[in-house]
Amino acid sequence: ICVNSVIAPPTNDNICGATSLTVGTSCTNTSSQLPATLVATASPQAACAGTPDDDVWYKFVATSANHTIAAVGKGGFDPVIDVKNGNCAASVLECINATAANATELLNLTGLTIGQTYNFRVYHAGTGSPIGSSFDVSVYTPLPLQYQFAQSNGSYSAISGGTVLGSGTINNAVYKVVA
CA–CA separation, 132 vs 77, rounded Å?
9
Supply the pTM of this predicted model: 0.77
User: What confidence category does residue 172 fall into, taking pLDDT thresholds of 50, 70 and 90?
Assistant: low
Handedness of CA 20, 14, 50, 73 (dihedral sign): positive
User: What confidence category does residue 152 fall into, taking pLDDT thresholds of 50, 70 and 90?
Assistant: very low
Mean pLDDT is highest, among 88-92, 110-114, 164-168, for 110-114
pLDDT digits (tens, 9 = 90+) for 16-34: 899 999 998 766 677 776 5
Residues found in the chain: 179
pLDDT digits (tens, 9 = 90+) for 32-84: 765 556 678 888 888 888 899 899 999 999 999 999 999 999 999 999 999 98
Residue 97 pLDDT > 80: yes
Instruction: Residue 40: name the closest of 30, 53, 28, 59 by CA.
Output: 53
Quote the mean pLDDT of the chain: 79
